[in-house]
Each structure stands twice: as structure tokens, then as C-alpha cells.
Structure 1
Amino acid sequence: MDRTRNLLEQIQSRLEDLNKAERKVAEVILQDPQQATRYSIASLAQAAQVSEPTVNRFCRSFGVSGYPELKLQLAQSLASGAAYVSRAVEADDGPEAYTRKIFGSTIASLDSACQTLDPQAIDRAVDLLIQARQIHFFGLGASASVAQDAQHKFFRFNLAVSAQCDVLMQRMLASVAHTGDLFVIISYTGRTRELVEVAHLARENGASVLGLTAAGSPLARACTLSLNIPLPEDTDIYMPMTSRIIQLTVLDVLATGMTLRRGIDFQPHLRKIKESLNSTRYPSDDELL
């Protein structure tokens, strides 16, 4: 059992694989996790319309010894901020409900990603960024705007940085890559064929490739190093939401790592860039006084 993921996430991810009776137990728990922590085993069995032995089998299938331990892990999941992992937006939700659900699921997904990311992998990724002669950020679809944001952040490090969202340009740049070039490829699923091919092409020409993508995906396998980002999207909504927020946050982590590596001597450079924008802004009310 994957102990890096809380119990609610495990139940949600395995919902389709459970047998019919155990799935009934899972659905009752996911519908109201807080209430499930207050059920006795008999009450949960009755709510799910299954037998008590079925509830015990459900517990064992998730690596817990019995129902008391299951309730304890449910409570820990709720305490970690995962209360909204399974709470999808419904067709009859009003503004208060869908606003709360979207914010809640995003907060829970960020917390899950934080727990999943390997600090040693983050450190190695910062190594690749620090050592790069030039950096290319690639993304398609919803990840294209994330690549553009990365360019906006990382050019501040006095490096040659570009963001490319056109497949043909990505392929041409990868074909003339050299040792010292770093390609950062951002993809929610890691299954976009063109990006996987570009990763292979860049590495064949001596470049390093850093992936921000799903663990075990074709893109993750093609990269020099991959920062594995969980797949939190509610596919019933059919548009990218939390994955984009997680990608942006991981890039903030990497940018912070580079800033700290550069040390205090690099601060004047960053300050100079920030102060160059002062003349483009209206003064604040305090400055007018």
C-alpha cells in the first residue's frame, strides 16, 4: 500500500477496481468522510447495504487491520486537509458550494503534491537549472501558459531562457541541442506523443531534460530527471484546474531553490530588475501622502 498518500486519496483512486460490495462501502465513506468517522461498523454496513464482514474485507484491502484503524486513518486524512479530495462539483451546486469545493480540492491537491515530491529530486532539479547554459521551457495546451510563466520567472537568473508552445519550434530546438542545454517539459499526463519525442530528441543531442509530469508516464521515462506530479483533476469537469496550480507552485519552488543557491551576492541583480518596473506603476496612496 502506498503510505505517501492519505486514505481518502487511496480510496478514490481505487474506486473503479473494487468489487461491487466494497465499492458501496467506499462510496458511503467518500460521500461524507466526516460522518464515516462517527459510524460504528454496524452503522457503516447498514448505510452501505452490505454485511459487516464486507466492511472488514474492505479494511484489509487497504492495508488496515480493522475498522477502528480505518476510522483513525480517515480522521488523519481529514486533519491533513484532504476533506475535499473526492468532492466533485455537482450539476445543482450553487456559487457557495462550487466555490468552496474548487478551493478545497486545490488546497488538498497542493498538500498531496507537497507530500509526494522528493526533496532530493528537487535538489537535483535545481542542480540541472544552475548548471544549464540555456533553458527551454516547453508546454502544450493548458501547460503552455505554465511554460510562459516559467520564462517570466527564470530569465531573472541571468540565463538564456525561452518558452515554446509550438510543436515544430520545440522539435527544431531539440534537434540542434547541445550539452549544457536544459529542456524543461511540462505535461499534466506525460502522454502527449510530440513532447515525448522531443524529450528523446533533445537527449540524443546531449541535452538534459527535466520533466514536470505524472510518475511512470512515457515522458517521465524519457527525461533525465522527472519531478513526479500527481494527477488530481476532476475529469467530470473536463477542463484543467488544479494541475496547472501545482505546476506553477513547483516552478516557484525551483526558482526559490536557485535564488538560495546563488546566495546573497545575487540579490542586487534581482532587486535591479524589480526596481526597473517602478516607473511603470502609479504611486500608491501612501506614496502620494
Structure 2
Amino acid sequence: MGTEEFLFEIRKNYRNLRPSEQKVADVILEGTEEIAEYTIEQFAHKAKVSQPTVLRFANAMGMKGYKELKTRMIQIYAGTQKSGSEKMVLDFPIQETDKLVELPAKVIMTNIRHMEECLKSISTYEYIQAVHALHEAQRISVFAVENSACTAEDFATKMTYIGKQVSFQKDGYLQHVTAGSLTSQDVAMGISHTGKSRQTVDALAIAKEAGARTIAITNSETAVINRFADIVLCTENRQYMYGDAIFSRCAQVSIVDMLYLGVFLTDYEQNAKRLNQNWEGIQKLIY
């Protein structure tokens, strides 16, 4: 397993680790090159855990002990020293001294990091619950404003192609009206990076009060919108710029793609048939 693959495995399995083992993972993912020289005692002190916890983490990652874990960390930070310019590329935001030619790499590398953080943050259990809820729903209403509206519209379009009854109203008043008409047979989904957009939060609250199953896609498990969500899917993005439009949308779209494909897989044969029929039906609209 290479260095990048090892870091990817840590992020992928992060949610399945015990809280104490997550502290060990955090030290590796967020630490500096000095940790590669730590003894197990020093590493445990840095992570504020016991030495057996460090060993359990190593075992959970498929390693025999701390010696193998330390070798991995040496490889990680040796690579960091060799590619100082790449590390700098990850340290967004844009600065006045940046050159235009550097921006494509900065944007791509930052998005890659956010995608890895999304993978680390999302709960497999919550994801499966969301897929089942969407599959069983009679109607699905999506609530979002501003930057998140792009994600909402994309999700509604995808789900419509496989025959699901999905609505997304761009008008905030209509979102609230729609939310109030939902029943226990329906699902409401609110998308808000900050989790504080009043229009989206209030719409999801109205839907929950009406009896609908509610899903929130947001940045943090402590976001306000989660108070009204039965299921929470977190992107765990850092906010770099106003509205975080550039980076939050990348993670949000990935999550709705996961949901769409999950619903598709739940009834693969029937959904594939509907998708093909709808695709054939729009061919006359394509040159």
C-alpha cells in the first residue's frame, strides 16, 4: 500500500474507528513531520490516548504494530519534504501574490482534499438509511437556496429520470408551502453548507412537523438544520471563501450522486428500464 493509499484508507475508515482511535488518526492526518520520529509513548501523549489504543489503531489499519505504523509515517512525511510546492498548493485561500497559472492546480488539489474529508465524515449507516428512505418515498421535496440550489436541482433532475416524484422550488415561499403539504409517506431533504440558511432550515422544520421523513446535507453534525433532520449526511468542509461556493458544491454533488446511485441500485432492473426509456424519449431534442 502506497502513501496516498494509506491516507485514503484512514479517511475511508475514520467513521468506523472508536473515538479514541480517531484521535490517533487525527494526529496522522493533521500532524507535522516530527511525529514520524516519535516513540509510541510520545505518540500516545500527543494523541492524548493510551499506548494500547495506538496499537489497536495500527491493527485496525491492517498493521502488525507501532513499528510498521511508524514506517508509514516516515514515508508520508518524507514525501511531504520532497514536494514542498505541492503542500503549499493545498494551503488555500488565494493570495494577492498568486500567479494565474497556479490557480487550476490549487482549485483541483483543494477539491481533492475536500472529497477526502467528505469520505472521512460521512456515516455509512446514515447513508444507507437515507437511500432506503428515498427509495420508499411517495414524494421527495428538496429545499435549498443560493449555492446549494445548484445541487438541489441536479438531484431532482437525476431522480426524475428514474421515475421518482421529486420537486425543487427555487422560490422560498413555495418551498415552505410544499413542505407543509408533505405526509408521512414523503421525504424532505434540506441542503445547506452552513446549516444556518433560515429559508432551508425553516422549510425542513415545517416538513418534519407535517410528518415527513427528513434528511439534511450540511457541513457539520452540530449545524442548526440537524435539529429537524432524522438523517444527517455531513460534508465536513472548511470554509475558505464567501458562501464556500467553489468547494462545498463539489462535496454536496458527490453526496447526492451517492444517494441517486444508491436508489438506482435498490431496484436496478426497473430503474435502468425507466432511464433508458426517458433517454430514448429525449433523443429527438438532441442534434
User: Is the pair's TM-score, using the shorter chain for normalization, greater than 0.5?
Assistant: yes
Task: Using the aligned pairs only, state the percent identity.
Answer: 19
Give the structure with the higher percent helix: 2
Equivalent pairs counted in the alignment come to 241
Amino acid at match of 1:163: F
Structure 1 unaligned blocks of 5 or more: 12-28, 30-35, 42-55, 283-289
Q: Please give the alpha-carbon distance, in whole angstroms, between the structure 2 residues aligned to 1:177 and 1:265.
A: 26
Q: Please give the alpha-carbon distance, in whole angstroms, between the structure 2 residues aligned to 1:227 and 1:58.
A: 32
Q: Which residue does the alignment assign to 2:239?
A: 233
User: What is the deviation of 1:248?
Assistant: 0.6
Q: Which residue does the alignment assign to 1:23?
A: none
User: What is the deviation of 1:209?
Assistant: 0.9
- Cα contact 1:37–1:75 (8 A) shared by 2: no
Amino acid at match of 1:215: E
Flag the 1:216–1:267 CA change in 2: closer, same or farther, 3 A.
Answer: same
TM-score, normalization by structure 2: 0.72
User: What is the deviation of 1:6?
Assistant: 4.8
Q: Deviations over 1:60-84 (max 9, x none)?
A: 455489xx969928927979xx955
Q: Which residue does the alignment assign to 1:75?
A: 76
More moved, 264-273 vs 101-110: 264-273
Matches for 1:105-116 after TM superposition, within 5 Å = 105-116=110-121
Q: Which residue does the alignment assign to 1:144?
A: 149
Q: Which residue does the alignment assign to 2:261?
A: 256
Q: Which residue does the alignment assign to 1:205?
A: 210
Q: Does 1:103 align with 2:108?
A: yes
TM-score, normalization by structure 1: 0.71
More moved, 100-109 vs 195-204: 195-204
Amino acid at match of 1:112: E
Amino acid at match of 1:72: M
Q: Which residue does the alignment assign to 2:282?
A: 277
Amino acid at match of 2:192: S
Flag the 1:78–1:222 CA change in 2: closer, same or farther, 3 A.
Answer: farther
Q: Deviations over 1:75-107 (max 9, x none)?
A: 27979xx95553432211112222111100101
Q: Please give the alpha-carbon distance, in whole angstroms, between the structure 2 residues aligned to 1:207 and 1:38.
A: 49
- Cα contact 1:7–1:77 (8 A) shared by 2: no
Q: Which residue does the alignment assign to 2:247?
A: 242
Q: Deviations over 1:201-259 (max 9, x none)?
A: 21111111111012111111210111112123313x66511110110111111111111
User: What is the deviation of 1:189?
Assistant: 0.8
Please give the secondary structure, in 1, of the residue aligned with 2:166.
strand
Q: Which residue does the alignment assign to 1:219?
A: 225
Q: Please give the alpha-carbon distance, in whole angstroms, between the structure 1 residues aligned to 2:79 and 2:266.
A: 36
- Cα contact 1:233–1:240 (8 A) shared by 2: no
- Cα contact 1:5–1:112 (8 A) shared by 2: no
Structure 2 unaligned blocks of 5 or more: 1-19, 52-68, 81-85
Q: Which residue does the alignment assign to 2:169?
A: 164
Q: Please give the alpha-carbon distance, in whole angstroms, between the structure 1 residues aligned to 2:200 and 2:78.
A: 35
Q: Please give the alpha-carbon distance, in whole angstroms, between the structure 1 residues aligned to 2:234 and 2:262.
A: 17
Amino acid at match of 2:238: P
- Cα contact 2:179–2:203 (8 A) shared by 1: yes
Q: Please give the alpha-carbon distance, in whole angstroms, between the structure 2 residues aligned to 1:73 and 1:211.
A: 39
Flag the 1:10–1:121 CA change in 2: closer, same or farther, 3 A.
Answer: same
Q: Please give the alpha-carbon distance, in whole angstroms, between the structure 1 residues aligned to 2:36 and 2:117.
A: 26
**Which has the larger Rg?**
1
Q: Deviations over 1:16-69 (max 9, x none)?
A: xxxxxxxxxxxxx5xxxxxx579989xxxxxxxxxxxxxx9999455489xx96
Task: Indicate the RMSD between aligned Cα atoms, in angstroms.
Answer: 3.4
